[in-house]
Amino acid sequence: MSTLSTMWTCHWAGRRIQRYLDADPAAPLTAQEAHRLHRHLATCAKCASAAEDFRGLRRALATWSQHRTPDPQLAARVRDTARQLIAEDAG
């Protein structure tokens, strides 16, 4: 593959790696795109390294969620107030 062609494929892959990793229903890759991306990642160290970095980043940020879970007392208070609102509405 020529250098220009490789650069173009890397550019193409770079625009899709995150969507591939996220697999979000609002922005899916087509089967053809996913297949082409797989093939590219298997042969391009630079893009494979980027994919691995993005995976690691997502894993690291996912651990933050454990520290951003609402205090059960806070959640209970919100629920209680909501129920009180309903009771007042019924009364």
Residues lying near another protein in the complex (CB under 8 A) are found at 15, 18-19, 22, 24-27, 50, 53-54, 57-58, 60-65, 67-71, 74-75, 77-79, 81-82, 85-86, 89-90
Q: What minimum distance in Å lies between the beta carbon of 2 and another protein?
A: 26
Report the amino acid identity of residue 48.
Answer: A
Q: What minimum distance in Å lies between the beta carbon of 18 and another protein?
A: 5
The residue with tokens 């990642």 is: 41
Whose CA is closest to 51, among 24, 21, 71, 10?
A: 21
Largest CA distance in the chain: 77
Q: What minimum distance in Å lies between the beta carbon of 34 and another protein?
A: 16
Q: Reduce the DSSP state of residue 11 to 3 states and report it.
A: helix
Q: Which is nearer to another protein, 2 or 72 (CB)?
A: 72
